[in-house]
A and B are shown apart, each in its own frame.
Chain A
Amino acid sequence: EVQLLESGGGLVQPGGSLRLSCVASGFTFSTYGMSWVRQAPGKGLEWLSHIRGTGGDLKYADSVKGRFIISRDNSKNTLYLQMNSLRAEDTALYYCAKLKALIYFDDWGQGTQVTVSS
């Protein structure tokens, strides 16, 4: 059974930083692309970033480009999202999601909440 467990969320002041983690199990982590997707309170889904299984081909949404950095450690089956220069509009539930065939998200974690507020 695939499991994705996010952590690292919390309350941070505007301009601050957080690093999210997503520990994966139940599949060969290094062979799948992974993404981060967020959902602001009462809003829809927003894709943020992608990384291939090898760790290359990084992609970012314009809303986070230059502020967020995606990475992975395949030896630890863990996906990361380093979030810098956080803004109030980054307040959301952050999901990690496993990408199948680079097309669709076939497994999702339960999400970790990030709140940016002074």
Chain B
Amino acid sequence: NFMLAQPHSVSESPGKTVTISCTRSSGTIDSNYVQWYQQRPGSSPTAVIYEDNRRPSGVPDRFSGSIDLSSNSASLTISGLKTEDEADYYCQSYDSRSWVFGGGTKLTVL
């Protein structure tokens, strides 16, 4: 099985842009789609990106996703940061046997 590695935490100022990475340990990042979830304190996760770069209805276009074959990683980019974006973010992918989450990244907007 594979794992997804994320930085433990990132921080940036309001109005700036931040990128969170998600590196797949084995197999290629484009083998299966990557999703991203936002989890605010005390709330259930909600998807902000699915199928690598698609946004669910209602998610602002400040959120974008991409994959990089050279680093075997996916990235979530949030532009025009707002204080409400402060949350934990998880990447997720899957294979034929399981669904896998990254360890999560705590985004602080300060």
Chain A residues near B (Cβ < 8 Å): 35, 37, 44-47, 50, 59, 61-62, 95, 100, 102-106, 108-111
Contact = CB atoms under 8 A, between A and B. Distances in A.
Contacts of B35: 103-105
B44 A108 contact: yes
Contacts of B33: 103-104
Contact of B92 (A50, A95, A105, A108): A105
Contacts of A45: 37, 39, 45, 90, 92, 101, 104
B58 to A, nearest CB: 12
A45 B99 CA distance: 11
Interface stretch (B10-18, B21-29, B46-54, B76-84): B46-54
Contact of B94 (A37, A103, A109, A111): A103
Interface of B: 1, 32-33, 35, 37, 39, 44-47, 50-51, 56, 88, 90, 92, 94, 97-104
Main secondary structure of the interface of A (DSSP, over half): strand
Nearest to B43: A110
A104 B90 contact: no
Contacts of A102: 94
B54 to A, nearest CB: 10
A44 B97 contact: no
